[in-house]
Structure 1
Amino acid sequence: MSLNTNKSLILNKIKSHYNFKSDAEFARFLEIKPSTLANWYARNSIDYDRLFSKCEGINANWLLSGEGPMLISEIKEQNTFKDVEGITRSEFLLRTDKVMQYNQIIPLYDIHATAGLVTLFKNDKQTPVDYYSIPNLPKVDGAVQITGDSMYPILKSGDIVFYREINNILENIYYGEMYLLDIQNDDDEYTTVKYIQTSERGPEWIKIVSYNSHHSPKDIHLSSVKAAAFIKGSLRLNSMR
């Protein structure tokens, strides 16, 4: 998860790990201007995508929180053990064991500020409002906070969903799964989360279905779907005041 950490400490640990003697040397490694690095220190901010791409093997959870092992290799060492017969975990895995997947840094976008999925997907320079790292989550493109109650109680307004963008919905629909959709219907445009099911009206139509029984299913033509993303996971934040 994303935490309000001391970014200078994180930067200094990375700098020390690579044995850089100066900030200028560190900046060259990151392929940024020394003034940019100085701004990171001054503003307590980090370009997570750049650090994660340039620093091979870094643990995304540590990069976000400053807690735990700095390197993925250190996690693997912690997870390796020997049983009474001397067999290591890496040599023998039970079927119920979970192998750690690639640690992602996931950008959280303000979908309301971007005016929908179409603008978000086309603008690769969109600035994230936050970042998350979720262990064992499949590969995703980003995250957004949803509104509305159409999928309640599975999803409620304010929940965060992690999505994988779909380039061709006609060829890449998995019927019965949950999707993030940008829909244009006459003069109405809206972003919604729905199940997609087959429609009796033909192959160029889909039925969008809510989990909340108070919302009726609706058949829409595929041409009305301006953008779509497959929902890979969700996160609910319950704050205690």
Structure 2
Amino acid sequence: MVSARVGKYIEAKGISFYAFENSLEASRGSISKAVKDGKSIGSNMLEKILLLYNDLNPTWLLTGEGDMLLDNGAWQNSSINTYRLKTDTSVESQQIPLYNLEAVAGLVPLFGDNKAFQPVDHIMIPHLPKCDGAVYITGDSMYPLLKSGDIVMYKEINDIANSIFWGEMYLLSVDMGGEEYITVKYVQKAEDNHYIKLVSENKHHQDKEVPLAQVKALALVKASIRINAMT
């Protein structure tokens, strides 16, 4: 039955029914109830599912024949880099929400309650470390490793003061006189334990020390995507 195959797909992707329903703008519990009770899912909703989740094989969904997932080469024109800790384990399949930072008004509200914000899209790349979300970056401080317009995928850090892996790359929000400064930098120890040193890949940018107390949001960068499109 189609609803049962939808349930299998959700399980295979490692996402919750809540996130799945939210991405489709469906009422809460509508999909989970259909899957649990073996009820039909409307054709309009199936069309939404296939449009949004373009790795899902429509033939398999509707008939059960063939493979669940399509090998559609969605990222064949992109460069994907991963930045792993030794303790990282890869996730076979996950759905990573992509957010527009301007729409969510910064990292602090996004990290505070990301369920309150609608992602602009979802990224599905197999065998990445666990990620909480993804955003487009601006600026050239990490060039040539990263450039403006690249996408970084991140894992949020809740205990900022005690959970920094020194020397790793972070997405962070710093309070600069009441203004939110969002950047991607290497984070290193400063001589003063109350400060951290922000280091750029681009040697034209000077290192900067900021008070740790001014860091309002922090996330480890786990992967990046650069779209290589010919214009």
* Same structural fold, with TM-score higher than 0.5 when normalized by the shorter chain: yes
Amino acid in the other structure paired with 2:145: I
Partner of 1:203: 193
Between the aligned partners of 2:170 and 2:149, the Cα distance in structure 1 is: 17
Between the aligned partners of 1:121 and 1:104, the Cα distance in structure 2 is: 19
CA gap of 1:214–1:13, structure 2 versus 1, over 3 A, is same
**Residue segments in structure 2 that go unaligned for 5+ positions in a row:** 10-29, 58-65, 70-88
CA gap of 1:187–1:27, structure 2 versus 1, over 3 A, is closer
Partner of 1:169: 160
TM-aligned CA deviation for residue 188 of structure 1: 2.9
Listed one character per residue, the Cα deviations across residues 139-169 of structure 1 (whole Å, up to 9, x for unaligned) are: 1101111111110000000111110000011
Partner of 2:110: 120
Work out whether residues 168 and 187 of structure 2, in 8 Å CA contact, stay in contact via their aligned partners in 1.
yes
Work out whether residues 91 and 130 of structure 2, in 8 Å CA contact, stay in contact via their aligned partners in 1.
no
Partner of 1:21: none
Q: How does 1:141-156 map to 2 (within 5 A)?
A: 141-156=132-147
Between the aligned partners of 1:15 and 1:233, the Cα distance in structure 2 is: 28
Between the aligned partners of 1:27 and 1:237, the Cα distance in structure 2 is: 35
Partner of 1:54: none
TM-score when scaled to structure 2? 0.68
TM-aligned CA deviation for residue 28 of structure 1: 2.5
Alignment partner of 1:103 is 2:93: yes
Amino acid in the other structure paired with 2:213: S
**SS in structure 1 at match of 2:109:** helix
TM-score when scaled to structure 1? 0.65
Work out whether residues 64 and 133 of structure 1, in 8 Å CA contact, stay in contact via their aligned partners in 2.
no
Q: Which of residues 212, 218, 221 is equivalent to 1:228? A: 218
Between the aligned partners of 2:36 and 2:179, the Cα distance in structure 1 is: 44
**SS in structure 2 at match of 1:112:** helix
**SS in structure 2 at match of 1:45:** helix
Instruction: Note the aligned Cα RMSD (angstroms).
Output: 3.4
CA gap of 1:37–1:177, structure 2 versus 1, over 3 A, is farther
CA gap of 1:27–1:174, structure 2 versus 1, over 3 A, is closer
Alignment partner of 1:237 is 2:219: no
TM-aligned CA deviation for residue 126 of structure 1: 1.2
CA gap of 1:142–1:12, structure 2 versus 1, over 3 A, is same
**SS in structure 2 at match of 1:143:** strand
CA gap of 1:35–1:129, structure 2 versus 1, over 3 A, is farther
Amino acid in the other structure paired with 1:149: D
The structure richer in strand per residue is 2
Q: Which of residues 49, 69, 72 is equivalent to 1:46? A: 49
Listed one character per residue, the Cα deviations across residues 7-47 of structure 1 (whole Å, up to 9, x for unaligned) are: xxxx68936989xxxxxx97623479x99955524xx4239
Partner of 2:33: 28
Work out whether residues 107 and 131 of structure 1, in 8 Å CA contact, stay in contact via their aligned partners in 2.
yes
Identical counterparts, % of pairs: 46
The structure with more radius of gyration:
1
